[in-house]
Every structure is written in structure tokens, then in C-alpha cells.
Amino acid sequence: MTKAVSRYNDPMHELGVAQSLLEIVEQEARPYGGARVTRVQLRIGQLSAVVPDALRFAFEAITRGGIAEGALLEIEEVPLRIRCHQCAEEFTVENPFMVCPRCEGVDVEMIAGRELEIRSLEICDGD
């Protein structure tokens, strides 16, 4: 029997994201020698297919013994926002159905909700 696995509840997806994040963090901290990373701030969109709690768990697991061990991972969750081309309104929507809640138009564009970005890093060099 084969079981289908959704990316939305596959912890391996967040592990891969955490590994990529750690590579970037280590690269950015490298010029500071023996510095430690103490905080990482991220923005994650509602439709990014990343589960924040799973990402926190994976990040904590893979940073043990490294320069980011114990770093606080702060995640800003970005809601899905659309702009309607028919009525020119912008809305935050709860579901991924791309319909304007004001005029029910379908000529809309997503303006936020797919982000996966590092906002900032806090690096402590010990001084």
C-alpha cells in the first residue's frame, strides 16, 4: 500500500528548509570569526508550505553543537493578501480561494503570502 504525503505535513520539507537556513546563517556569521548567532528573524507566508512549529523543531535539532545552537528563531507569519483588479481593493483572506470578498471578482493577484525570507540575524562576537 502506498501512502500519499502532503508537503504541508511532511517534516522532511521543514528539515530541508532549516538546513538551507542554517547554511545562510553560517555564511553570514563566518566573517565574524568565533561569533555566535543568537537570533534569527524570518517572514513566512501562509502559502509558503512551511509549518512554523515544524521549522522551529528542525532548526533546533540541526543547530546543536554549532554557532546557532540556542538561537531564538522568531517567525512572522504573513497572511495571504490579494488585490482585486475589478474594484481595486486589497484584502487579507483566510483561504487560498482567489476571489475578491468585496465584488466577488476573480481577476485578482496575490500580493503577499508566499514569502520565505530572513529579515535579520543577531550575531554576538563575545565582546
- Domain ranges for the chain: 7-79+112-124
Q: Which three cell numbers stand for residue 103?
A: 465584488
Is 79:43 a contact under the CB 8 Å cutoff?
Answer: no
12-44 exposure pattern, b = at least 16 Cβ within 10 A, e = fewer = ebbbebbeebbeebeeebeeeeebbbeebebbb
CA atoms within 13 Å, Cβ hemisphere of 56 = 12
pLDDT single digits (tens) 89-115: 999 988 777 889 899 999 999 999 999
Beta strands (DSSP E) in the chain are: 36-45, 72-78, 80-84, 90-93, 108-112, 116-124
Instruction: Give the right CATH number for 7-79+112-124 from 3.40.50.1100, 3.30.2320.50, 2.40.110.10, 2.60.40.420.
Output: 3.30.2320.50
Residue written as grid cell 528542525: 58
Length of the chain as a residue count: 127
Q: Could you tell me the pTM of the whole model?
A: 0.80
How far is residue 123's CA from residue 40's CA, in Å, rounded to a whole number?
9
The whole-number pLDDT of residue 6 equals 40
Which stretches of the chain score pLDDT less than 70? Answer: 1-11, 126-127
pLDDT of residue 11: 57
Predicted local confidence at residue 125, as pLDDT: 81
